Amino acid sequence: MGGRSLLSRLLLAVPAIVLIGTGAAVAQEAVTLRMILVAPEDRWNTLLEAAQEKFAAEHPDIELSLDVQILPFADRLTQLRAAAIAGTPLDIVSLDQPEVGDFAAAGFTSDLTERIDQDLDGLSDWLPAYREATRFEGGWHAIWAWTDARVMWYWKDLVAAAGVDPATDMATWQSYLESCQKLDEAVSDQGASGCLLIGQPWIADWTFPYVWMSQGDIGFAVNAELAEDQGAAEAWVPSLASEAWIEALQFTRDQVDAGIEPFTEHQFGTEFVNRSFAVSLDGTWVLGALKGAGADLGQVGMIGAFPVPSADTTTATMAGGWTLAIPSSSENPDVAWDFLKAMLDISTLGRLQTEFGYLPTRASFTTELEEQFTSFWNEGDVDRWAELTELAPHAYGRPSFPSWPQVGAAITDMVQNVMFDDKDPQAAAQDAQRTVLVDVLGWPAETTVEVHDDAGGSCEHDDLDRQLPAITPVQQTADADGSGMFCSHVVLP
């Protein structure tokens, strides 16, 4: 819903004089927090109302009002960038995870590191992928509030008609292709197709998991001083020409060659709810759409995995969701921080996640709210929550820096060139690597990155290396001593 939220039109404040335990009156400071958040509105109504109750109980000396704009996904960036340019006072905003670096570099967001270290123990309760993904130049500029994941959905009756068991018959790339062909034949008389292959630009987000599981990566953060010396736009080097990327692109091509036609009208679950596909690699948001449509959830199976190249490969998925930040233009940063903490509490954010089907970024939520999560996800007597908890450690975010939109566009072009134009996967990968490396980022052609262990807690070449948290599978493999860190090493031509 666009425009100003219903919530923003409510007077969300307590009286200006409050009586406390002794009967003494305490004068209140009137504070209004201004926010720009991304639709849908109902989730924010739930979260903000709960957060305000908690805040009021903890801060009886503050008369708090909220002025909230809840904007459609397509409009919010325009409004946020306009606010950044104009210096419009804002106190809390929601950002998509890859956008954090862009807004941080522009000076739009506040560095929350000192507050996070003091009040949230350095985000120690956040799973590593979510803890590290909102840093920019070493500091936290946002906090990842909730997430989602890409998983495999299927209609039990449709897969049964083909004699396919998705858990075993669609686990590997080859068996997935064969099963999709069987499903096409079995369900065509019901007006359905076997498997969904997204043909929209966001197909890149569905390709990353195949790269990660194959010990590849999108790219690597590198030594910032070296990047500056080379005149590069970012201290980041892509790894798009790797064997992992070529294999992932080949699997995309193999799906098309197997008769899985790219679906260019993907609407994030609607087509699965309508039973247009027997099997759908789509987001966890699909369950909410199914519930909203009154579907028989006992007939809906879910596997917390993408197909893997071979049976001995660990699956992976991409994590989405939203982060919360405090703009540097905030006129009430201390109050905004205290309210943001209230929004992130298990009594508020946990309630939102368990009622709306969002996945937790905090480890404690998973255990302390297990009963509530199980109740939401396992409706229809299907154990989906166990699948999601097993998948959680294998979910990874995207890079976050100012040039990411251009990098992401080049990756989308690469995937779609293979999908629609029958471009050779190796040639597509090499062309995309050159485009991003040289044209977008300004690194010398043929620059590459090697990864290795931070033996002894430091990197070997101070002028060429950078020590980083080991998050993705290839980074964890490089972390031979299990310290949780690895080194990226730039190899210049």
* DSSP notation for 137-183: TTEE--EEEEE-BEEEEEEHHHHHHTT--HHHHTSBHHHHHHHHHHH
Looking at residue 104, its pLDDT comes to: 96
Confidence band of 22 (pLDDT split at 50, 70, 90): very low
- Please count the other Cβ atoms lying within 10 Å of the Cβ belonging to residue 429: 25
Looking at residue 463, its pLDDT comes to: 85
Residue 311 has pLDDT above 60, yes or no: yes
Residue 284 has pLDDT above 90, yes or no: yes
**What are the CA-CA distances from residue 262 to residues 190, 202, 432 (Å)?**
19, 12, 21
pLDDT digits (tens, 9 = 90+) for 151-186: 999 999 999 999 999 999 999 999 999 999 999 999
User: Which residues pair with residue 301 across a beta bridge?
Assistant: 154
Strand order from edge to edge, sheet including 277-283: 193-196, 277-283, 150-155, 300-303
pLDDT digits (tens, 9 = 90+) for 315-365: 999 999 999 999 999 999 999 999 999 999 999 999 999 999 999 999 999
The model carries a pTM of 0.93
Looking at residue 171, its pLDDT comes to: 98
Looking at residue 2, its pLDDT comes to: 39
**CB proximity list for 142: less than 8 A, separation 6 or greater:** 95, 97, 100, 109, 112, 134, 323, 324, 325
pLDDT digits (tens, 9 = 90+) for 52-65: 999 999 999 999 99
Check residue 319 and report its DSSP letter.
Answer: B
Q: How far is Cα 406 from Cα 334, in angstroms, rounded to an integer? A: 35
Q: How far is Cα 55 from Cα 249, in angstroms, rounded to an integer? A: 49
The radius of gyration computed from the CA coordinates of the chain, to the nearest angstrom, equals 24
Reduced to 3 states (helix: H, G, I; strand: E, B; else coil), residue 404 is helix
Is the C-alpha dihedral spanning 264, 266, 271, 277 positive or negative? positive
Looking at residue 440, its pLDDT comes to: 98
**CB proximity list for 403: less than 8 A, separation 6 or greater:** 233, 234, 236, 440, 441
Confidence band of 15 (pLDDT split at 50, 70, 90): very low
Residue 21 has pLDDT above 60, yes or no: no
